[in-house]
Amino acid sequence: MENVNTKEFVDKMNLTIEDLKLIEEHGLTLSQVSYQVEQLKKGTKYLKLSEACTVENGILRISGNEKQKFIKIYEDHVKSNLVIKFVPASGAASRMFKKLESFMLASENLALDQNYTSDEKTYIQHFFKNIKNFPFYTELSEVLEKNKLNIEKLLLEKKFKEILEFLLTPHGMNYSNLPKALIQFHQYKNESRVSLEEQIVEAIEYIKSSEQSINLHFTISEDMKGEFEAKANLLAKKYRSKCEISTSFSFQKKSTDTVALDSNQNIFRENDKILFRPGGHGALIENLNELNADLIFIKNIDNVQREENLSVTIDNKKLLGGLLIKYQSQIHSYITKLNTSYDINFIEEIEEFLSKELGYQFDLGYTNYSLDEKQKYLSNFLNRPIRVCGVVVNEGHPGGGPFWVEDENGNFTKQIVEGNQIKLEDDKQRQIYNSSTHFNPVDIVCGIKDAKRKKFDLIKYVDNQAVLVSKKSKDGKELNALELPGLWNGGMSDWITIFVEVPSATFTPVKEVNDLLKNYHLGSL
């Protein structure tokens, strides 16, 4: 990022002394703000897909016997190495309850007449028909009882708005404003569990060290710190007999906020002050970069399984960990030898490893390199952070998938790509995107140390140009918003990437409240 002509930029953007103070308070520099403005004016930089990654073409499929070998590698490793589970958990559950909230605000009762589409009717009716099956039903009933209301009577009288007010608003359980981590996801015989607890229960089964301890890190919103810490302390006491639970938290840094542009290409203001917007989940690469561990697992807060269904997930977590350990060890061995002595046979061994084991293709012109040029190229290629990403067979879920991407120099890399990164108006690009056989469930394990066990600076491996620019509005005024490169998209663009097929049973997300009614969340109760 180049320095800008400070005076020229200040004059061009009509920045005041108050603006400059606000920028500094956010931990941003004028160069960074200038770069954001430049990116906003350029718009989204679309990726160029070459082809979808498939099994044997960028995606590994591990057989039963081989799988057990990698599981054993991981189980031996975790005993004496620091493993952390990293869970982005700052998002509010507002989207989860969006349809219920819309209905609550629009209706006094379940009229569900011409004002609602058939899909909306079906969704709302499905919720109330099965309301007793939700894990939060007992607490909701108790909250209503405290307010001298009976949920059965309210249901009979079709006073659905009143029920939703106690579920969604600060008047009751406030679920629309809580983070997903603190929403009850599963009902068991004698208790219900929030997704935060299910993440901990899962972690106990695969990141416990020989000292009987586990480490988890959650990114949260700062205003919810007290609630998270209180819940984490309760859970640490609850599971103390199984292991010592160390839970840490961090917030998305203000320095990763971004400016926006108005319709006249000026910096957007609210009440005469510059509006700063959160930079999206890609900003969390800063939080990840502050962790120092041998392995880091990443998983979304809303993708949890019931405890009785965990065995498949645990085996596949260990598989991903074992694969990373194996490949990282091999890569570190190659780097060490490349920096001491090498010959053509050793270079060819590395080439075969990269092409056959990891499925990588070499840059254009590589075959014409001299031996020393190949040594330099391979050293640079291998000396990067590594991630092993579990991918599931695509069953129509919205979101990204694994692809081969062609860069501006005609070279190919493996990337997780989402639809908004592609120019879908281009028929060929749309066809490639729609041909994807696998989906990214955010099931990732990261190796962030080099061959000398020194931690990489992960910020150096971000594709800073892989931003998204989208139309938004604030108080009725249109704006162009900037979103930083996604954490597992452009945020990890320059990592060594290994895709591995994992069972769809490991992916049970809760995007909307009615997802909690799916069999894998209800269990046998």
Whether residue 339 has pLDDT greater than 60? yes
Which long-range contacts does 139-143 make (Cβ < 8 Å, 24+ apart)?
Answer: 139/173, 139/184, 139/192, 140/166, 140/167, 140/172, 140/173, 143/172, 143/173
pLDDT at residue 110 greater than cutoff 60: no
Q: How far apart are the first and last CA of the chain?
A: 56
pLDDT at 363 over 90: no
The per-residue DSSP string of 149-218 comes to --HHHHHHTT-HHHHHHHHHSTTTT-TTTSBGGGSEEEE-SS-EEEHHHHHHHHHHTTS--TTSEEEEEE
Whole-angstrom distance, CA of residue 321 vs CA of residue 86: 14
Separation between Cα atoms, residue 433 and residue 423, nearest integer Å: 10
| pLDDT tens track for 372-429 | 999 999 999 999 999 999 999 998 777 789 999 998 888 889 999 999 999 999 999 9
Please enumerate in sequence order all residues whose Cβ is within 8 A of that of 520, keeping only pairs 6 or more positions apart, or say none: 305, 306, 309, 505, 508
Over the range 288-327, which residues count as b (16 or more CB within 10 Å of their CB) and which as e? bbebebbbbbbbbbbbbbbbeebeebbbbbbbbbbbbbbb
β-sheet bridge partners, residue 483: 468
What is the tens place of the pLDDT at every residue in 219-276?
Answer: 999 999 999 999 999 999 999 999 999 999 999 988 999 999 998 999 999 988 999 9
When the pLDDT of each residue in the chain is averaged and rounded to a whole number, the result is: 92
Q: What is the pLDDT of residue 115?
A: 55
Q: Band of the pLDDT at 114, cuts 50, 70, 90?
A: very low
How does DSSP classify residue 245?
E
- Among 179-193, 231-245, 346-360, 439-453, the range scoring the smallest mean pLDDT is 346-360
Residue 113 has pLDDT above 50, yes or no: no
**pLDDT, tens digit, for every residue of 72-81?**
999 999 999 9
Q: What percent of the chain has pLDDT over 70?
A: 96
Task: Give the separation between CA 138 and CA 448, rounded to whole angstroms.
Answer: 44
**Res 407: pLDDT:** 87
Does residue 103 or residue 447 have the better pLDDT? 447
Percentage with pLDDT > 90 across the chain: 76
The pLDDT of residue 4 is: 56
What's the rounded Cα separation, in Å, for the pair 218 and 213? Answer: 17
Q: Which amino acid is at 272?
A: D
What's the pLDDT band for 111 if we cut at 50, 70, 90?
low
